[in-house]
Structure 1
Amino acid sequence: MRSTLISGLAAVSLATTLAACAPGTSESGSGADAPAPSGSVDLSSFKGKKITYLYFTDGPDEAATRSLLKEFESKTGGTVDLQIVPFADLQQSLQARLSGGNAPDVARLADLAPFKDELMDLSGVVGADYADQFLAGPATAMKDGDKIIAVPNDLTMNGPFVNTDLFEKAGVPVPTKWTWDEMVAAAKKVQAANKTEAGIAIDKSGHRLSTILSQFGTTMVGKDLTNTLDEAKATKAIDSLVTLIEDGTIPKDFWIESGSKYKGANEIFLAQQAPIYISGNWQVAQFADAAKFGWKAVPNACAERCGGFPGGKYTVALSQSKEPEMAAALVQFLNSKESQATMDAASMWLPTRNDLIEGKGVTYPDRQADMEVFTADVGETPEDTYDAVASPAFGASATVLVEEFAKAVAGQQDAATTAKNLKAGIDQAIADSK
């Protein structure tokens, strides 16, 4: 499936230097129709200029980001004002600034859909073939028609962690591959042997639940805003999870106490109250620092199909930027081969560039084997999951998924009704996104 994911994409050499393809002078403007910068420019033209970078941090990435920005400033003689906001406030903050005519020049986003009309077209800067430098999945969201509006900055991959100490005490081998049924059986055996609160912990997240839907053979949305949910397969996935909650394998209180709001289950895993935790690669850095027990990342379990579910962040330039040339240059700089390799190693991120996935990859300072597990699952993850997460209707659909699943957990409806309601909710999310 890895060859399917990146078929037709040739490995590329080192990213073109800023001096060769940095944007040239263009008239500053605002709004979606502001002209994109094009041509080339001497980087010294940025000397004394200042741009802002609206950013949210996942933790260890902040120091690496500041280091890269200093390097950019050294190359250009300009200044980048890094403005950090909590992830929960990012969308509201950016919308307010756009409405007030005070947009940042560059931003880090997880969801492009609400801001598509405000993003600068970078195609004149980076070239028409720029998307070919990136994995086909993450590159799905780069374009809006012929425009290149975003660059995938990092890739996330959902997947499980196991407490190897608890597995060893229970006499259960740590898997190198496993089916869904084998994962469930192992979780129950390790839970019983160690008398832990749960066997499996999973974040309360539509994104994480989408991992299970995909493994059972379906996604919620596809290309061209289509509703792709297979109700029968969704029913089977939902029923499997609800059964595990009802028999105590997955903690029920965790799902009920916080309603339908996102909640991470990492504290349950760190407290050694669940031997298996379904989350994603961004936890590696935290666990390397905080876990006081043996643990490791393992491949996703296979039901009808294998792999996890992707996500990621994007670097964008805003069309309201008063320094569009410098803004576009920063976006390109942050996503060069060298910059991504530096950032990924420091932050335990997965790269989006072909030359970092297909070559020797990223050398991480710690937990290399765990990161390679997630990297390998990139190639096992079906292509339609990338179409799903790139859809402007995915965010709203994911919210509906959590809300309807919470009703099933509370015993208010069965799995079939949950899948039916989810299908209708996806239709509404698609209609709203249009």
Structure 2
Amino acid sequence: MTLAPRRAKLAAIALTGVGALTLAACSSGGDGNATASGSTGTSGSTSTEFTYLGQTQNTTIISTLESLGSGACSAEQASTPLVSDAIDGTTWDQQLQVLAGSDALSNMSMAAGTPSLMKDFIDAGKVLDLTDAFAQLGMTDPVLPAAEATLKQLYQTDDLYALPTEYNIEGFWYNKALFDQAGVTVPTTWSELVDAAAKLDAAGIQPFIAAGSDGWPVTRLVGDYILRDLGADALQKVADGSAKLTDPEYVAGADAVAALGQAGYFGPAAGSIDYNTAMNQFLTGGGAMFYMGSWALANFNDPEQDQIGVDNIGYFAFPEVEGGKGSISETPANAGIPVMFTTANYTDDIGAWVKCIAENYGNVALAESGQVTGFTITETPADQSDLTTMVQDQIANATGSILWFEAAFTSEGTTVSQTNGGGLATGSLSGADFMALVQTANEG
């Protein structure tokens, strides 16, 4: 799925017709604009309000928008007030489809959770071409190159169609003290990672922590191994039909992760650990390595949660696979929760909001929420942690990015993958069986 998995899982479930019709009928996206226009505002076109639709599970975006409205975007707020609404994330994509079908999307909303649905919106002309809009608004480089490249890769477009309210690199976060205790150095190859896990285990330290019940933190490892081994285009080949997950060279990636599970390196109850439990386990010293996205900085920088200390947390990139075609310089990344703007009812006033958000959102989100975004930052908080600065530097200097295991899968393939990922961590599911399940789901 497009959204980086968060504290609450946003699993898709069946949409009830009543809820969909209610949203379509009461959406302010189609009613608050006095003059409608195309992909860029026409001279003199105005709107009476700027509408935003988000998910109830996410409060960061709307709180940042409200702060912008009372600060950097106060002029836009005064002329075209922000009006927001939220719906439950479990029916997000279905609700967006209903709204899009009625041209009732809000001026701004969280993007579709499934990349293929977002592509449908783009192909149908429902979503604003931001590359064109930025040019019309006289803007230059408000989005970091790595973040822009990731979004274009995700939606397979030449132009930019969403903004990165987060930009997350992924990799292994590790407990420096536990590494020292076991005499372990930071691994740069898969063999070194396996050797480090064996040393930690021998020292009575759980090598890896993962939310096995959620599945995706484990399947991330499978995808990264494949991309390091077979090259950055390996999973796109599966999506294109020129390769299958059941091909031996792909199964090898799942087998490598399953071997860690069979060795007990994820702990005795890996299949029952959820996201919050895994985070707490790492931050209380319950394990040495934790594969996670940089959105976890909010937890790491919170002294009430982080009992091991932010200065005791290190980071290393997913290691290279010996003889593989991929490079350790290719950073697993995602745009977290992108936001899109609708072409329907786009006016000069909405364009002013787009400009102000693109130029200021990153600074406010970083200062108020500690959120690293994909926007160019012009103001750095004085109390920012070294770990946050490291992540920003990593993003700024990234030479390339790669997407996660399920990024190009079907919705069914994603569900089956994440439902069964925990079986690899417990050693109860072989790599071959796992890949067969996911391949069948993708073809269904």
TM-score of the pair, normalised by structure 2: 0.69
Query: Alpha-carbon deviation of 1:106?
Result: 0.6
Which stretch of the first structure deviates more once superposed, 325-334 or 84-93?
84-93
What SS is found at the alignment partner of 1:316? strand
What letter corresponds to residue 104 of structure 1 in structure 2? S
- 2:294 is aligned, of 281, 284, 309, to 281
Q: Trace 1:84-123 onto structure 2 (pairs within 5 A).
A: 84-85=86-87, 87-98=89-100, 102-109=104-111, 110-115=113-118, 116=121, 117=124, 118-122=126-130
**Root mean square deviation, CA, Å:** 4.1
Corresponding residue number in structure 2 for 1:51: 50
What letter corresponds to residue 170 of structure 1 in structure 2? A
Unaligned runs of 5+ in 1: 1-24, 29-33, 429-434
Going from structure 1 to structure 2, the CA distance change for 1:378 and 1:416 (only over 3 Å counts) comes to farther
- 1:220 is aligned, of 214, 231, 235, to 235
Query: Alpha-carbon deviation of 1:80?
Result: 0.6
Corresponding residue number in structure 2 for 1:340: 362
Q: Trace 1:29-68 onto structure 2 (pairs within 5 A).
A: 35-39=38-42, 49-56=48-55, 63-68=63-68
Q: How many percent of aligned residue pairs carry the same amino acid?
A: 15
- 1:201 is aligned, of 209, 228, 231, to 209
Which stretch of the first structure deviates more once superposed, 323-332 or 303-312?
323-332
Going from structure 1 to structure 2, the CA distance change for 1:254 and 1:213 (only over 3 Å counts) comes to same
Report if the CA contact (8 A) 1:227-1:423 is conserved.
no
The number of equivalent residue pairs is: 380
Residue 435 (structure 2) pairs with residue 416 (structure 1): no
* CA-to-aligned-CA distance 1:230-263 (integer Å, 9 cap, x gap): 73343222112111111110136333x48xx988
What SS is found at the alignment partner of 1:372? helix
Residue 393 (structure 2) pairs with residue 365 (structure 1): no
Q: Trace 1:219-298 onto structure 2 (pairs within 5 A).
A: 219-221=234-236, 225=240, 231-251=247-267, 253-255=269-271, 257=272, 265-289=278-302, 290-294=305-309, 295-298=312-315
Q: Distance in 1 between matches of 2:180 and 2:224?
A: 27
TM-score of the pair, normalised by structure 1: 0.71
Report if the CA contact (8 A) 1:202-1:277 is conserved.
yes
What letter corresponds to residue 133 of structure 2 in structure 1? V
What letter corresponds to residue 272 of structure 1 in structure 2? G
Q: Distance in 2 between matches of 1:100 and 1:142?
A: 26
Query: Alpha-carbon deviation of 1:335?
Result: 1.6
Unaligned runs of 5+ in 2: 1-32, 322-326
Q: Distance in 1 between matches of 2:296 and 2:437?
A: 32
Going from structure 1 to structure 2, the CA distance change for 1:380 and 1:333 (only over 3 Å counts) comes to closer
Query: Alpha-carbon deviation of 1:63?
Result: 4.2
* CA-to-aligned-CA distance 1:19-61 (integer Å, 9 cap, x gap): xxxxxx9952xxxxx722335669xx56xx2222123465666
Query: Alpha-carbon deviation of 1:389?
Result: 7.5
Q: Distance in 1 between matches of 2:286 and 2:433?
A: 32
Query: Alpha-carbon deviation of 1:226?
Result: 5.4
What SS is found at the alignment partner of 1:250? coil
Residue 188 (structure 2) pairs with residue 153 (structure 1): no
Query: Alpha-carbon deviation of 1:349?
Result: 3.7
- 2:349 is aligned, of 326, 333, 344, to 326
Report if the CA contact (8 A) 2:258-2:430 is conserved.
no
Q: Distance in 2 between matches of 1:172 and 1:417?
A: 33
* CA-to-aligned-CA distance 1:52-99 (integer Å, 9 cap, x gap): 212346566654342123236511222112334454453344345445
